[in-house]
Amino acid sequence: MATQFGDERDWFLEKRFGLFVHWGIYAIPGWQEQHQWRGRMPANEYVKLAEQWNPTNFNPDAWLDIAEEAGMQYIIVTTKHHDGFCLWDTAHTAFNTMNTPYGKDLMAMLADACHKRNFPLGFYYSIADWHHPNYPNQGRHHELPQPKPGDDPDLMKYLEFLKAQVWELCTHYGKLHAFWWDMNVDEHFDPSVNAMIRSLQPAAVINNRGFDPGDFGTPERDHVQGIDTQQSFDRLTEACQSVGFESWGYRVDEDYYTDRHLIRSIDRYLARDANYLLNVGPKPDGTIPDASKHILKRIGKWYRAVAEAVKDVEPASHLTRNRDILLTRRDNVIYVHLVNDPRTSGVKLDPIDVAPKNATLLNTGEPVDFTVDLVPTNHIEHKPYLRLQNLPVNELINTVMVVKLEFDEIIE
Ligand code: GLC
């Protein structure tokens, strides 16, 4: 287990798998959450979407049921994405859910549902803002090409607005478990912002995309080269990924990832002591798209079967030379995670040369054959090593198999 904080933030080391939700008026055209930037929809056209915002089927309990069924243990939701539209009753901009046909505070509804079932809630907040007149849009990445007519670009004024909004989010919605910054395009540094969050919400872990390094790193999708070959992380990490390839927000015509891709990605992080946030984009009516729901359900089935291999464990891949697998362990138990495409029905665990008492495939509950013997490919060392045999590799090709090995002793 990663080093503890020694305070209320320690929840983050126990609850490792969360639901990420990107939701806003961009769900109405259903193209992508960055419709104004990637899709170049003019800002004056975009703001009109608020006139149609009416998610009458929004039921926060339905979201939480889906998350819990998938084995997820916390939720992070976009309170304001780059478009600047706010999903809560904010006093600091009229561009919010109260001034729409729906007219209700969505974050209050979600927070109530979370608190009722003690489900940790975190707020995502985009620093880049394509609506607020003081945000200095100037054509950098994730910014409009220039200020809109009538804007008054002024970073310091914008930060006053931002702090006032963060104060609202940290004082009006009960206990928060996370504050999830995004898109500090300016790379402005100001530790006073996180200090305010920490004083108001001591249980909230804060990510590294804000105004100081925060508590944890946030590798996204498959963007970070070489990260899969690292056996562990230097600091607390929470990877994030969406169920769809093109978008985090609802996309009508999404190309969804395969279960295999997602499960591998999830296990590769969980088995290395990182957290994982898997994202869905609810539809404009407030419901989670069926395709996303089904993906979460299938992933949940896998996760529940193997969960003991990632809970209260430590990464232990250093115990083997086999780089096709990852290992985790708890006392005398070692879990073997087949995170790469198995090339054969056997798994070599050299230099471990001890036989376990039991070997079980967690995905099915079936026993796994094993032996400690000399194999031809180890002829130079000429030593017997532990080897798992006859795994159902062709049957379970679309998942990550995890094998539980129970030993009489601690393997060093
Ligand atoms: C990127 C995208 C953004 C998304 C975020 C999630 O920063 O710009 O749309 O919210 O990733 O990590």
Q: Whose CA is nearest to atom 3 of ligand 1?
A: 248
Q: Would you list the DSSP string of 179-227? A: EEEE--TT----HHHHHHHHHH-TT-EEBTTSSS--SBB--BTT-STTG
Q: Which atom of ligand 1 is nearest to the CA of 242?
A: 6
Place of tokens 């590769």: 268
* Chain center to CA of 69: 16
CA distance 338 to 350: 15
The rounded Å distance from CA 207 to ligand 1 centre is 13
- Each residue's pLDDT tens digit, 211-263: 999 999 999 987 777 787 787 888 999 999 999 999 999 999 999 999 999 99
Q: 247 CB less than 6 Å from ligand 1? A: no
Question: What is the SS3 assignment for 79?
Answer: strand
Give Rg (Cα) of the chain: 23
Beta strand 385-389 with 347-348: parallel, antiparallel or unpaired? antiparallel
Pocket test for ligand 1, best of 182, 220, 237, 275 (most atoms within 8 A of CB): 182
Does any ligand 1 atom lie closer than 6 A to the CB of residue 242? Answer: no
Of ligand 1's listed atoms, the one at least distance from the Cα of 249 is 9
182 lines ligand 1 (CB under 6 A): yes
How do residues 280-333 score in pLDDT, each as one tens digit? Answer: 999 999 999 999 999 999 999 999 999 999 999 999 999 999 999 999 999 999
Which domains does the chain possess? 8-309 (3.20.20.80), 314-406 (2.60.40.1180)
In the prediction, which pLDDT does 222 show?
Answer: 77
DSSP assignment letter at 88: S
Distance between Cα 116 and ligand 1 center (Å): 29
Is the C-beta atom of 124 inside 6 A of ligand 1?
A: no
User: Would the pLDDT of 2 be above 80?
Assistant: no
Calpha distance 51→254 (Å, rounded) = 25
CA of 182 to the centre of ligand 1 (A): 7
The answer, yes or no, to whether any atom of ligand 1 lies below 6 A from the CB of 105, is: no
For residue 142, which atom of ligand 1 is closest to its CA?
Answer: 8
Would you state the structure tokens that stand for residue 247, as one six-digit string?
Answer: 């978008």
Rounded-to-integer distance, Cα 155 and Cα 143, Å: 14
pLDDT value of residue 58: 98
Pocket test for ligand 1, best of 20, 129, 248 (most atoms within 8 A of CB): 248
Helix (H) or strand (E) holding 274: none
Tokens 């004083």 label which residue? 199
The DSSP symbol for 288 reads P
Confirm or reject: Cβ of 238 under 6 Å from ligand 1: no
Residue 1 has pLDDT above 60, yes or no: no
Return the SS3 of 48: helix
pLDDT of residue 230: 82
* φ and ψ at residue 206, rounded to 5 degrees: -125, 135
Q: What is the pLDDT of residues 153-203, one digit of tens each?
A: 999 999 999 999 999 999 999 999 999 999 999 999 999 999 999 999 999
- Number of other CB atoms surrounding residue 162 within 10 Å: 23
Q: Which residues contact 195 (CB under 8 A, 6 or more apart)?
A: none
Ligand 1 pocket check for 2: Cβ under 6 Å: no
Quote the CA–CA distance of 338 and 401 in Å, as a whole number. Answer: 5
Strand order in the sheet with 358-361: 314-315, 326-330, 333-337, 402-406, 358-361, 366-367
**Strands 275-280 vs 238-242: parallel, antiparallel or unpaired:** parallel
207 lines ligand 1 (CB under 6 A): no
Give me the torsion for CA of 342, 343, 348, 350, rounded to 10°.
Answer: -100
